[in-house]
Amino acid sequence: MTVVSGRTLRIGDFSIRIRPRIITVGLLAAAVLGAGIIASLMIGTIPLDASDLVAVLSGEAKPSLTRSVLGRRLPRALTAAAVGALLGMSGAAFQSLSRNPLGSPDIIGFTSGAATGAVLQIVVFGGGMLATAAAAIIGGIITAFAVYFLARRDGVTGGLRLVLVGIGVGAVVSAFSSLLIARADINDAMVAQLWSAGSLLGRGWLHAAVAIAALALVAPLLLTLGRSLALMEMGDDAAHSVGVRVERIRFVALIVGVVAAAAAVAVAGPIAFIAFAAAHIARHLAPVPGVLVGLSAVVGAVLLTGADLLAQNLDVGMRTPVGLVTSLLGGLYLLWLLARRI
């Protein structure tokens, strides 16, 4: 039986709190994302107008144009959206776990661990999309275990200690990644270095499928954990008092968040600041209590799709990796935040 009472939707024993601000912002962000994906399909070496795009989607366009749009532009756009969503959700989870605005996977070091796993696969065992993806996820999970247990004190993990330990572990694994590249064969080193810049160039349907599958796996888990994470933000004692198994939830959320970040790294390489900025912007647009996992995912998808559009059209005499664009814009955003608060 479905009952709507005030701002709560009840379906049997299950209830969902309806928050108009989040719904409104989410719908607007989804509309912007849709516009960005359409722009990605129309902008390229061969620019399209609306009639050309309709012809492609209806199967009436030239085969070469159809291959360009459906074989290259569409999977790249879907990959950007899915990777951005994965990073946005991961950033929201880690900022909640650490109770720190700097608690995103690229700053804590989980992204570095995933990237090191992928570099190890490329330069030692040979590349390959699925093998590199698996190595990135394994590297991220191993890094997560290291950070979790090194940050654990008196049976508790979290807070500033989690951030500081993560930064230290991230520095170590980044140095190991650089050592691997320095000692690798020149061809493998070039591939690893290009991948490490973070790029969506050449991403096809396999990359899109991996990113979307990872999103479909982690999104329900993080959304389900959102209420417990929100209670934990009030303090471990308060969360314990209402029946939350704090350390179990923290560990599960840590692993799921790392898998989300590692899957994004596996598909597109290490892309900085999307996880950090998406959760911040989501909280700014919808300043309501709770962990905004879903909204952060949509905002992350918008940010990376927009950054990829900018990367494709940034004329610097080379094909600009999207990771360079996000690093530049993310660094400026961080400086702006610091300038506002100091």
Cβ atoms < 10 Å from Cβ of 281? 21
Tell me the mean pLDDT per 10 residues along the chain, length 342: 48 62 90 93 81 82 82 92 95 85 80 88 80 86 87 71 85 89 83 81 88 94 87 78 81 89 89 89 85 91 92 66 85 80 56
Q: How far apart are CA 90 and CA 102, in angstroms?
A: 13
DSSP string, 92-134: HHHHHHHTSTT--HHHHTHHHHHHHHHHHIIIII---HHHHHH
- Burial zone of 231 (CB within 10 Å; 0-12 exposed, 13-18 middle, 19+ buried): buried
| Domain spans in the chain, listed from the N-terminal domain onward | 36-46+83-341
Q: pLDDT value at position 122? A: 86
pTM: 0.88
Q: pLDDT value at position 16? A: 61
Give the Cα-Cα-Cα angle 264, 270, 276 (nearest 5 degrees).
Answer: 80
Q: Compute CA distances 59 → 29, 76, 276, whole Å.
A: 29, 20, 40
Q: pLDDT value at position 238? A: 78
Query: Taking the CA of residue 98 as centre, how many other CA atoms within 13 Å lie in the half-sphere pointing to its CB?
Result: 27
Homologous superfamily of 36-46+83-341: ABC transporter involved in vitamin B12 uptake, BtuC (1.10.3470.10)
Q: pLDDT value at position 299? A: 95
Q: pLDDT value at position 317? A: 45
Question: Closest Cα to residue 129, out of 74, 75, 67?
Answer: 75
> Beta partners for 11?
2, 14
- Whether 86 and 275 have beta carbons less than 8 Å apart is answered as no
Q: pLDDT value at position 33? A: 95
Q: How far apart are CA 324 and CA 272, in angstroms?
A: 8
Q: How far apart are CA 135 and CA 116, in angstroms?
A: 9
Q: How far apart are CA 326 and CA 113, in angstroms?
A: 19
Helix (H) or strand (E) holding 249: helix 246-268
Q: pLDDT value at position 5? A: 39
Q: How far apart are CA 163 and CA 269, in angstroms?
A: 22
Q: How far apart are CA 10 and CA 14, in angstroms?
A: 6
> Beta partners for 156?
153
Query: Taking the CA of residue 171 as centre, how many other CA atoms within 13 Å lie in the half-sphere pointing to its CB?
Result: 5
The two tokens of residue 65 are: 């144009």
Question: Closest Cα to residue 37, out of 279, 304, 315?
Answer: 304
